[in-house]
Structure 1
Amino acid sequence: MSRNTAPPAERVDKQLLRTAFILVLGTFMATLDATIVSVGIDGLAHDFGASVAEIQWVTTAYLLAVVAAVPASGWLADRFGGRRTWLVAVGVFLLGSALCASARSVTSLIVFRVIQGLGGGLLPATGQALLARIAGPGRTGRVISVVAVVPLLSPVLGPLAGGSILAVAPWPWLFLVNLPVGAVAVLLARRHVPAVPPSTRRTAFDLRGALLLSPGLAVLVFGLTEVAHGRTLPATAGVTAGLAMLAGFTVHGLRTRRTPLVDPRLFARPPFGAAAVALLVLGASVFGTMFLLPLYFQTGRGMSAWGAGLLLAPQGLGAAAGSVLVNRTIDKVAPRTLVVTGIVLILAGTVPFTQLGHEVPDAVIALALAVRGVGMAMVGAPVMNIVYSRIEPEYLPRASGALNLLNTVGGSVGTAALAVVLQNRLSARGPDISGAFGDTFWWVLGFCLLAAAGATRLPRTRAAKS
């Protein structure tokens, strides 16, 4: 079978669905934890007597740890096997969660969030690669369409779940809630998830690449975060150093004779390059919007965290409906058709937010979010299916790591960039907070147009069956 030919779709049985459910628990914990703490930031600052500049590192440290961990996921799965790597990642995440709940100072909480983020960063990429390997090319599309909805739901459910927990329990339960979920996931995985053997191509760990790529991404995100806070010197140093390290990694990846941590040549292979652009910009759009809207609802409209979470819920419902639609059509419709349609829906759902300065009604916001949710579900799963179904099984862990890295980097860098734009527009608009948020959403619209440009290079028709 050639690399550009996909096999016919096969039936997704109960055993595969059970495996998908187990593995998606890890992804759910990791992605949910990126946002669930956001509603508790004020309370944490009060309890620890920390400033806003200090307490924001509770969120930023987790994000930077995730970005640092993702690139190593492919090598770890190749070296130790997908299931073993996934189980260890869950263990590290649960250890970090327990330590966070026991933190007695803001400094210790930040350190423990790093541990939690290192485990959380490995879970989505390792779980997706393991699931794709177990499913095989003929079933990857349908099963990925189910699990891919989780990262779309988590930014919506995070603030809602966090608000619900804090309504009845103190802040440590934001972290303790992970323990029973993780324990169940480990027990089920040991019993029901097949053990996929390590890769027969044993390669040395790309230490030089790791010292350039992961810290480079983390430093870049840190620099952009400092730009948003108006701190010029650390912002300039962070962005400059981050870009320099990433440029160094690219040169290293092209020149090394060993297997690099993430192979830059992979992005020149169709359809991987186009898929990479789509996922990068999708991450910026999804997480950027989930950063802007809760902030707008609470500062521009005076809503509570719970009320903001409820108004965001239609996006989650739309994503769930979209995943059902994709599951039924992913093996019948051209990948580009699904992705382009999804991006058009995201564009349509974003337009009303550019008009926030004109008092957009809640009903219009809810409808726009639902449309965006359907559109996002129509992008992520088809893009991942294109790559997973057309790449050799032994390359799945590294391809999955690269795709998840792009989505994570898109989310983190996109959010940091939008924070800079928002700060600039707030300064320019003065008391017109709604207008400043509306101006910022034009940038989100621009992200969507970039994603559309990348999607036009995806396969025009379905891959031929063998």
Structure 2
Amino acid sequence: MSKPPGPPEAPPPAAEETGTGLLRIAFVLVLGTFMATLDATIVNVGIDTLAREFDATVGDIQWVGTAYLLAVVTAVPASGWLADRFGGRRVWLAAVALFLAGSALCALSWSAPSLIVFRVVQGLGGGLLPPTGQALLARIAGPSRIGKVISVVAVVPLLSPVLGPVAGGALLAAASWQWLFLVNLPIGALALLLARRYVPVVAPAAKGVPFDVRGALLLSPGLAALVYGLTEAAEGRRLPAVLGIGAGALMLAAFVTHGLRTRGTALIDPRLFARPPFGPAALALLVLGASVFGTAFLLPLYLQTGEGLSAWQAGLVLAPQGVGAAAGAVLVNRTVNAVPPRTLVVTGVGLVLAGTVPFTQLDHGLPDAVLIASLAVRGFGMAMISAPLMNIVYSRMDSAHVARASGALNLLNTVGGSLGTAALAVVLQSRLDARHQDATAAFSDTFWWVVGLGLLAAAGTTRLPRTHAVRSST
């Protein structure tokens, strides 16, 4: 049998993929992001089912979600170096294969500990997919076209918190718990087949750069310890929380010191955050992650505990946010090259704030129509933030640094979501105690903190550039 021809080398910027070809590549790469981000929320719906299946406590089985999250946080920082060393396409294909292997192993789990271990394997692959896919797409598209295609990719993480509960509830209603993981296999297999055919090879940007071992030993464990500590704080376990947060903060401080002093290439260069527009964009994405995933944690919990809805019903109530995000992505795709990115971002943050404020009035009997409209406005606004922010960064950055910048941005968004969820869980518990277990009032109080996060993001967007990047003629 003759060997099929390999994928083409990525063309130089003057002959970049255009039109249908570029959108096809974006669709293929977004399949990996969709699979990884959806899985992060879809399994949460089945926590009670998994606890019964493995005869474990809910506290123990929560590690199914926590282990995945910690693995993602561990993998993301290394994505930039891996793409630079081995090539983005090769790393992306390996990440999909690793994620599929982890998914299959999860479905074969025989106990809670085995499931937790296999979720780590799955999370390592899932953590590499979004940053590697974004960096690869940015290099293939080039600065002049990244704005349009990134709007397609950026909407996926906004949809997953909405689609996850619906998909998880539907799977558990129709099939066994194993399908929470087996559902990934056909999506991943399709992504692998299409990527091998359509995604071009992009030459590694910095093949000879050594891996920052010291940085990796400080950054990934430091982030994992910090997320673990906040998770324990949300559960009310004080000593593990203090130890985790303290150890995480120390390791992250040591990483920053190392990154500033090293003569080599740091895993993530701390100096990036002092350079506009990267610093303000990073702050906005960090807070956006906290707001999106924090709300995705609070609202379903309120609907299920306060309103008595099932996970499936709660997911349907959240659907308008996904509709709004899709509509916002269409608008961004059509206007991103005509409207200054900062205008889109500032407008988006304003819409997210406008859509969040009504949730602070849950204890005053929020009408269903207002809830639905607020969710749609929030979704529309979120779509106007992430894609233009990435466009601002990628269009102003040398292609050799795109992979590491993508890793840093995705890391901040992931960490923002993790820390935001954990912090809001702590706030919610404190408000429940203060409100004498009046759930509706406690949720209303907690949403004021989400509004505060939005105001912090708004402050960061004021430092974004007002105009588009100047395109080089070379």
Q: TM-score, normalised by structure 2?
A: 0.95
Match of 1:18 in 2: 24
- The structural deviation recorded for 1:463 is 3.1
Deviation per residue, 1:173-196 (Å, 9 max, x gap): 000000011011001101110011
Give the whole-Å Cα distance in 2 for the aligned partners of 1:187 and 1:441: 43
Correspondence 1:205 to 2:200: no
Match of 2:68 in 1: 62
Match for residue 416 of structure 1 among 413, 422, 428:
422
Compared CA separation, residues 200 and 67, structure 1 to 2 (3 A): closer
Match of 1:49 in 2: 55
Match of 2:90 in 1: 84
Correspondence 1:217 to 2:211: no
- The structural deviation recorded for 1:246 is 0.2
Q: Name the aligned partner's letter for residue 224 of structure 2.
A: A
Match for residue 438 of structure 2 among 432, 439, 448:
432
Q: 1:324-335 residue pairs with structure 2 within 5 A? A: 324-335=330-341
Give the whole-Å Cα distance in 2 for the aligned partners of 1:275 and 1:323: 18
Q: Name the aligned partner's letter for residue 444 of structure 1.
A: V
Deviation per residue, 1:358-416 (Å, 9 max, x gap): 12122211110000000000000000000111100111100000000000000000100
Deviation per residue, 1:321-349 (Å, 9 max, x gap): 00000011110111111100000000000
Match of 1:396 in 2: 402
Match of 2:257 in 1: 251
Q: 1:150-229 residue pairs with structure 2 within 5 A? A: 150-229=156-235
Instruction: Verify the 8 A CA contact 2:54 2:112 in the aligned structure 1.
Output: yes
Match for residue 373 of structure 1 among 373, 379, 389:
379
Match for residue 261 of structure 1 among 263, 267, 277:
267
- The structural deviation recorded for 1:12 is 4.1
Instruction: Verify the 8 A CA contact 1:12 1:142 in the aligned structure 2.
Output: no
Tell me how many residue pairs correspond in the alignment.
460
Deviation per residue, 1:102-133 (Å, 9 max, x gap): 10100000000000000000000000000000
Instruction: Verify the 8 A CA contact 1:294 1:308 in the aligned structure 2.
Output: yes
Give the whole-Å Cα distance in 1 for the aligned partners of 2:170 and 2:367: 25
Match for residue 73 of structure 1 among 72, 79, 83:
79
Q: Name the aligned partner's letter for residue 40 of structure 2.
A: A
- The structural deviation recorded for 1:53 is 1.2
Give the whole-Å Cα distance in 1 for the aligned partners of 2:433 and 2:208: 54
Match of 1:132 in 2: 138
Correspondence 1:107 to 2:124: no
Match of 1:282 in 2: 288
Please give the root-mean-square deviation of Cα atoms over the aligned residues, in Å. Answer: 1.4
Find the residue that maps to 2:210 and give its secondary structure: coil
Deviation per residue, 1:220-240 (Å, 9 max, x gap): 000001111111110000000
Match of 1:3 in 2: none
Match of 1:38 in 2: 44
Give the whole-Å Cα distance in 2 for the aligned partners of 1:346 and 1:200: 39
Q: Name the aligned partner's letter for residue 229 of structure 2.
A: G
Match for residue 369 of structure 2 among 340, 363, 368:
363
Q: Name the aligned partner's letter for residue 296 of structure 1.
A: Y
Q: Tell me, which stretches of 5 or more residues in structure 2 are unaligned?
A: 1-12
- The structural deviation recorded for 1:158 is 0.5
Q: Name the aligned partner's letter for residue 139 of structure 2.
A: R
Instruction: Verify the 8 A CA contact 2:170 2:312 in the aligned structure 1.
Output: yes
- The structural deviation recorded for 1:464 is 3.9
Instruction: Verify the 8 A CA contact 2:392 2:469 in the aligned structure 1.
Output: no
Instruction: Verify the 8 A CA contact 1:253 1:262 in the aligned structure 2.
Output: yes
- The structural deviation recorded for 1:200 is 4.1
Give the whole-Å Cα distance in 2 for the aligned partners of 1:211 and 1:140: 33
Correspondence 1:445 to 2:458: no
Give the whole-Å Cα distance in 1 for the aligned partners of 2:160 and 2:300: 14
Give the whole-Å Cα distance in 1 for the aligned partners of 2:468 and 2:311: 44
- The structural deviation recorded for 1:199 is 2.0
My pick for the range that moved more, 192-201 or 222-231, is 192-201
Instruction: Verify the 8 A CA contact 2:143 2:471 in the aligned structure 1.
Output: no
My pick for the range that moved more, 199-208 or 93-102, is 199-208
The percentage of aligned residue pairs carrying the same residue is 74
Give the whole-Å Cα distance in 1 for the aligned partners of 2:111 and 2:126: 22
Q: Name the aligned partner's letter for residue 164 of structure 1.
A: A
Q: Name the aligned partner's letter for residue 228 of structure 1.
A: A
Deviation per residue, 1:125-168 (Å, 9 max, x gap): 00000000000111000000111100100111001100111110
Q: Name the aligned partner's letter for residue 428 of structure 1.
A: A
Find the residue that maps to 1:194 and give its secondary structure: coil
Give the whole-Å Cα distance in 1 for the aligned partners of 2:46 and 2:367: 28
Match of 1:315 in 2: 321
Give the whole-Å Cα distance in 1 for the aligned partners of 2:78 and 2:459: 29
- The structural deviation recorded for 1:421 is 0.2
Correspondence 1:386 to 2:362: no
Q: TM-score, normalised by structure 1?
A: 0.97
Match for residue 359 of structure 2 among 344, 347, 353:
353
Give the whole-Å Cα distance in 2 for the aligned partners of 1:25 and 1:238: 34
Give the whole-Å Cα distance in 1 for the aligned partners of 2:70 and 2:365: 36
Q: Name the aligned partner's letter for residue 440 of structure 1.
A: T
Give the whole-Å Cα distance in 1 for the aligned partners of 2:172 and 2:369: 27
Q: Name the aligned partner's letter for residue 60 of structure 1.
A: T
- The structural deviation recorded for 1:202 is 1.6
Compared CA separation, residues 319 and 223, structure 1 to 2 (3 A): same
The ranges of structure 1 where at least 4 consecutive aligned residues each deviate by more than 2 angstroms after the TM superposition are: 461-466
Find the residue that maps to 2:337 and give its secondary structure: coil
- The structural deviation recorded for 1:88 is 0.3
